[in-house]
Structure 1
Amino acid sequence: MASHHSVSPVGSYDEKSDLEPESSTTVSRSRHSWFRSVFFQATVVGMCAFLSPGIWNSSAGGGQEPYLVNAANSLVFGLMVFTCLLAGTITNKISYRWAVVLGTAGYAPYAAGLYLNKTRGTVWLVLFGSACCGLSAGLFWGVEDPEARKRGRYLAYWLAFRNGGQLLGGIISLALNTHASGTGSVGTSTYVCRALSAVFDKLTRLKWQLVFIALQAFAPVLGVLVSNPAQVRRPDNTKVEMENNAGFVTEMKEMWSIIKRREVLFLIPISLYAQWSSSYAGTFLSLYFSVRSRALAAFLVAVLGVIVNGLLGAFLDNTSVRMKVRSRASYIFIMSVLGGVWIWFTVLQVRYDGTEPKYDWTDGGAWAAGFVLYLVFYSCYYVRPRSFSSPSSFSLCSPRSLQLLQNELYWLISQLARQPTEVIRLSSFLRALESAGSACAFGVSASKHLPKTVPVGINFGLWAVSTLTAWGTVREIGVAVGPEV
C-alpha cells in the first residue's frame, strides 16, 4: 500500500509475487510504465483513502447524542490496537495488495450502520460496522515506504486525497444545512444527497442516500490495482524493497527489539496523545455549536488540512535547511500552538459549564471564540474532526485528516527506521498506541454524566508529558539518529 504512516499509505507497494526474477528488459519497461510507477501506486492508494476514510465524513452521522458512537469508536480503536500490531505479519502473509483491499472493506458497513441508526434507530449495525472497521482499518494504515527525499511531499499528496473526500462532504452538507441554525444532527437530506439527486432526478430512481455508502464499498475494488512491489520502480529505477518473510514469533521479537530502543520509548506518550484529544474536541463542537456551524467547520478543516500539510511537507523535505533544524523547529511550533489551544479550551470549558450555550455564526464574537479555536486545534492536531452531523460522529479509523502533529510524528518515525522493514514495524506500533489512546478517550467520552472539565484536564496533562518526552527523540534527529543533513 502506499504510504504514510500507520503511516499514511503512500508509497509502499510490497506484495509477494510468484513471478520469476525480472530481466533487465523487464526492469527497463517497468521504469517507463506509468502503471508501475510509485506515483501511480500512491495515487491508487490515495483514491482508496478518498473513497473510504475520506468520503466517510460525508455520510457520518447518528443520533443527536454522542454516547452510542463514542462507545462504537472505543470498540473500533480497541480492535485496531491488535490489528495494527499484527499488520506487518498479516500483510506479509496476504500481500500488500490484499492488505489495501481488506483494509478499506470495513468502512462501508460502519457508514451503513450510522445511516440506519439515523433513519430507523438501528443500533446493532453501528456496533457490527465498528467491529468490521476496527478489524480491517489497521491493515490500511500499516505500511509505507516513500523515497526518503520525498517523504513529506508524499504524505501531503496522500493527505490531499483524504481531505478531498472530507471537502466533498463538507461542501454538500454545508449547502444542505445552511439554514439549520439549531443544534442536533444534520438532516437526513445530507445522506440522501439531495443536492446531487436534483440533477439526476429524472434519469434514475436510485436512492441517493446509498450513493456514498456505495462509493466506500468500491474502494476495495480499486485497491486491486496496486501493483506487485517487484514490478514497481521509483523514478531513479531503484526497487521498493519491503519484503519481509519473517514468521509471527520472529516478527514479534523484531518488534520488541525496536520498541525497547530509547528513541522509540520517548515517543510512546505522544503516540497515545496523538488521537486522545479528538473525542473531547468533537464533542465540544457538537454540544455548543449549531448544525450549520459544524458543517462549516468540516469544510474549513478540510481546506486548512491540505494547505498546512502541504506547507509542512515542503518544509520537512527542504534539504537546504539542516535536518535537525527542520525537526526541532516544526516540533516546537506545533506543540507550542497546541499548548495555547489547551489553555483556551480550559478557559472556554469553565465558562460554558453550567450555562450550556448554543452558538450560531450569527452570534459574532462569542461564536468565533470557540469556533476559531476548533479550527486551529484540528489544523495542528491529528484526526479529521468529528463530522458536523452529530456529537457522535467522529471519523473513525482515521484515521483520520492527518494534520500537522500527525504528519510530524510519522515523519519522525520514518527517520528512526534503520531498514525498510522497520518502517512497517514502527508505524504499526505507533498506530497501535494511537488506537489505544482513542479507545480510552472514547470510552471516557461515552459517559454521559462525566464533567467536561475532566477530559480537558487529561488532555492538558498528556500534552505536557508528551511535549517533554518526545523532545528526547526530536533533538537527536539529524544528530545521533537519521542522516545528518
Structure 2
Amino acid sequence: MATENRAIGTAGDPEVVQNVTHDADYQEASTVPDLPSGWKYRQIRIFGKRLPWYASPRTQLIFVSFVCFMCPGMFNALNGMGGGGKTDATLADNMNTALYSAFAVFGIFGGTFVNKLGVKWTLAFGGIGYCIYAISLLVSVHASVSGFNLFAGAFLGICAGLLWTAQGTIMISYPSETEKGKYFAWFWGIFNMGAVIGSLIPLGQNINVTVNATVSDGTYIGFIVLMAVGAVLAVCLCNANDIIRPDGSRVILMKNPSWQSELKGLWETLRFEPFVILLFPMFFSSNWFYVYQQNAVNSAHFTTRTKALNGLLYWLAQIIAAGIWGNLLDMTRLRRSVRAKINWFVLVVLTFAIYGGGYAYEKTYTRASVKATGFQATDWTSSGYVGPMFLYIFYGFYDAAWQASIYWFMGALSNSGRRSANYVGFYKGIQSVGAAVSNNLDARSLSFQKEFISNWVLLAGSLIFAAPVIFMKIRDHVAVEDDLAGTDETIADVLPADHPEKLGA
C-alpha cells in the first residue's frame, strides 16, 4: 500500500503533514473518526469487509451512475440507432435541435441550480424529461404531433442540463485527487451499460428485420419504463453537504447560497481560472460528432437489426475505453502534470488515426446515394460489414477517451464542489451549443462529407486551443486554500475531523 506525506496548511501558518494512502479500497473501507450519528454514516460488514457508508463518495457515485444508466443511458441507446429509432432522421434532428438549444442555456446555469437546490432534487427533476421524450417519439409513430415532439425535446434540454451538471459535480468534486480518473471509469462503465442493455431491446425485438425500418412500439415502451425508474431512483441520493470523504473532509460548498451569489459565482469561476476558456472548443466539439456517427453512418447505411448491433458494440467500446483511461489517468507513478501532457499527445494520435480511417469509409457513399432507388442497406451478413463495424467501435472508444479527458482536466483544476459545478455547467452548456448546431445542419441535409470534415477539424483544432491549459495550468496538487478563495468556508471546514489543526494541536 503506497503512501505519501502531504503538507496541508494555510498561508503563513506552519504546514501540518499527514499521511495520505493511495489504496482506494483501504481508504473507502477504513473507519473514519467522528462520523456523525445516523443511518447515512452507518457501516455494514459483509463477508468480513466493511462497506462504505451511505453518504460516502463511492456509494453516491454508484447511485448517480444508475440514475444515468436508466435515463441518458437509454436515451443514448435510442438515439444511437439514428433518428430516434425512425427511418427518417428529420423529426429527431428537429427535436434534438430544440433539446440542445435549451440544454445550452440550462447547462451553463446548471451549476447555479445545483448549488442552490442540491444534487438530489436537481437530478430527480432532470430524469423526468427523458421519459417524456421517449413518449413523444412513440406517439409520433401513430400521429403527427410535431408540437408535442418539439416541446418534449426542449423540456428534455432543460432537464438534461440540470441532470448532467449535478452528475458532473458528484464525479469530479466528491473523490480525492488520486481517484478522479477511477471515478470517471466507474461512472462511465455503469452509465454506458445502460446504453448496452438499451441496445439489446431493439436488437431483440427487431432481430428479423433485415431492412431499414422504424423500431416497434414495444421498443419505445421499454425505454419509457426504464427512464421513469431512473427519475425515481434519483430521490435516494444525498446532497453534497452530507458527504464525508474517507479522510474525514467534506466537499467545499458555499454557505447559504442565494441565487444572486450563485450567478456571481459563474463570473468568479472564470476569474479564478480564466485559462479554462481555452477548454471551451473541446467542450463545443464533444457532442458534435454524435450526429454524423449516428445519422450519417449508422442510420444511413445499415439495416435495423445491424444498427442495433452497432449501437451495442459502440457503447461496449465506451466502457472499455473508460476503464483504460480512468485508471491510466490516476496512475500515481507519474506526476499529474506529466500524465496530462501524455494524455494530450495520445488524443492527437487517436484523432488522426481513427478519423483517417473514417475518411476512407466516408468517401464510399453520399447522402444522395443512400436515398437512391436500389440502395442495399448493409446487414451483418453482408461481406463488407467487418470494416465499418470496427470503425464504429473505434468511434465509441474515442468518444469515451475524449469525455474522460475533459472531466479529468476539469477535476485537476479544482477540488471545490462549487467551482466544479460551474465548470461542469460551462462544459455541458457549451457542449450542447455544438450539438444543437450539428443537429440543425443535419436537418438541413448538409452533405455527409462536410459533416465528417467538420468533426475532424473541430476535434483537432480544439486540442491546439487546449494545449496551454494542459501544459501550463494543470498542477500536481491544488491547495485547499486556493479552492476556498471566494467562498464562506474556512480551512477547518474541509480538513479531516481528526486533523491536528482542527483538534487545536
Q: Which of 151, 159, 174 is residue 146 of structure 1 equivalent to?
A: 174
Structure 2 residue 137 is matched with structure 1 residue 114? yes
| Match runs of 1:458-469 below 5 Å | 458-469=454-465
Letter in 2 for 1:169: G
Give a deviation string over 1:130-176, Cα, whole Å, max 9, x none.
Answer: 12211111111112312222111111111222112111122232233
Aligned with residue 237 of structure 2, among 221, 226, 238: 226
Deviation at 1:246, TM superposition (A): 4.2
2:287 is the counterpart of 1:264: no
Q: 1:197-212 residue pairs with structure 2 within 5 A?
A: 209=221, 211-212=222-223
Contact 2:65 2:190 in 1 (8 A): yes
Asked whether the 8 Å contact 2:181–2:327 carries over to 1, the reply is yes
Partner residue of 2:347? 334
Q: Which runs of 4+ in 1 moved over 6 A?
A: none
Q: Give secondary structure in 1 for the equivalent of 2:364.
A: helix
Q: 1:380 to 1:282 in 2, by over 3 A?
A: same
What TM-score do the two structures reach when normalised by structure 2?
A: 0.77
Residue equivalent to 2:20: none
The answer to whether the 8 A contact 1:77-1:134 is kept is: yes
1:249: Cα distance to partner? 4.2
TM-fit CA distance, 1:31? 4.4
- Aligned alpha-carbon RMSD (Å): 2.5
Partner of 1:373: 391
- 1:76 touches 1:134 (CA, 8 Å); kept in 2? yes
Deviation, 1:50, is 1.4
- Which residue of 1 is the match for residue 151 of structure 2? 128
1:350-380 deviations in whole A, cap 9, x for unaligned? 321354353222222x323323212111211
Number of equivalences? 420
d(CA) in 1 for partners of 2:349, 2:256? 42
Choose which of 98, 113, 120 in structure 2 pairs with 1:75. 98
Opposite residue 408 of structure 1, the aligned amino acid is S
Tell me if 1:420 matches 2:417.
yes
Distance 1:338 1:32, change over 3 A: same
- Larger radius of gyration between Structure 1 and Structure 2: 2
What SS is found at the alignment partner of 1:160? Answer: helix
Tell me, in whole angstroms, the C-alpha distance in 1 between the residues paired with 2:474 and 2:188: 25
1:240-319 residue pairs with structure 2 within 5 A?
240-243=251-254, 245-259=256-270, 261-283=273-295, 284-319=297-332
Distance 1:220 1:362, change over 3 A: closer
Residue 58 of structure 1: CA displacement?
A: 5.0
Superposition TM-score, scaled by structure 1 size: 0.80
Check the 8 A contact 2:409/2:470 in 1, yes or no: yes
How much does 1:98 deviate? 0.9
d(CA) in 2 for partners of 1:360, 1:29: 53
Aligned counterparts of 2:329 and 2:66: Cα–Cα separation in 1: 24
- How many Å apart are 1:328 and its aligned residue? 2.0
Asked if structure 1 preserves the Cα contact closer than 8 Å seen for 2:106 and 2:162, the reply is: yes
1:441: Cα distance to partner? 0.6
Contact 2:116-2:257 within 8 A present in 1 as well:
no
Give 1:62 shift: 4.5
Q: Hey, what does 2:210 align to over in structure 1?
A: 181
Tell me, in whole angstroms, the C-alpha distance in 2 between the residues paired with 1:55 and 1:72.
16
Post-superposition shift, 1:256? 2.7
> What's 1:239 paired with?
250
Which range moves more in the overlay, 307-316 or 416-425?
A: 416-425
Match of residue 378, structure 2, among 339, 359, 365: 359
Aligned-residue offset at 1:418: 6.3
Q: 2:85·2:215 contact (CA, 8 Å) conserved in 1? A: no
- The 8 Å contact of residues 94 and 443 in structure 2, kept in 1 or not, is answered as yes
Deviation at 1:346, TM superposition (A): 2.7
Q: Offset of 1:454 from its aligned partner?
A: 1.8
On the 8 A contact 1:47/1:161 being kept in 2, the answer is yes
CA contact (8 A) 2:413 2:474 kept: no
Secondary structure, in 3 states, of the residue corresponding to 2:128? coil
CA contact (8 A) 2:174 2:245 kept: no
Letter in 2 for 1:427: V
Shift of 1:319: 0.8
Q: Does the Cα contact within 8 Å between 1:59 and 1:115 map onto a contact in 2? A: no
Describe the shift of the 1:373–1:183 C-alpha distance in structure 2 as closer, same or farther (beyond 3 A).
Answer: same
- Residue 481 of structure 1, CA deviation: 8.0
Match of 2:192 in 1: 163
Q: Show CA shifts across 1:69-125 (max 9, x none).
A: 111111111101111121122223322221111111111000111112224454333
1:273-310 deviation line (CA, Å, top 9, x unaligned):
11111111111211012222211111112222211101
Alignment partners' CA distance in 1, 2:158 and 2:410: 24
The one-letter code sitting in structure 1 at the alignment partner of 2:441 is: V
Is the 1:331–1:474 Cα contact (8 Å) retained in structure 2? yes
Q: Tell me the distance in 1 between the aligned counterparts of 2:415 and 2:312.
A: 39
Q: Given residue 438 of structure 2, which amino acid in structure 1 is its aligned partner?
A: A
- Contact 1:51/1:165, CA 8 A, preserved across alignment: yes
Unaligned runs of 5+ in 1: 1-22, 192-208, 382-402
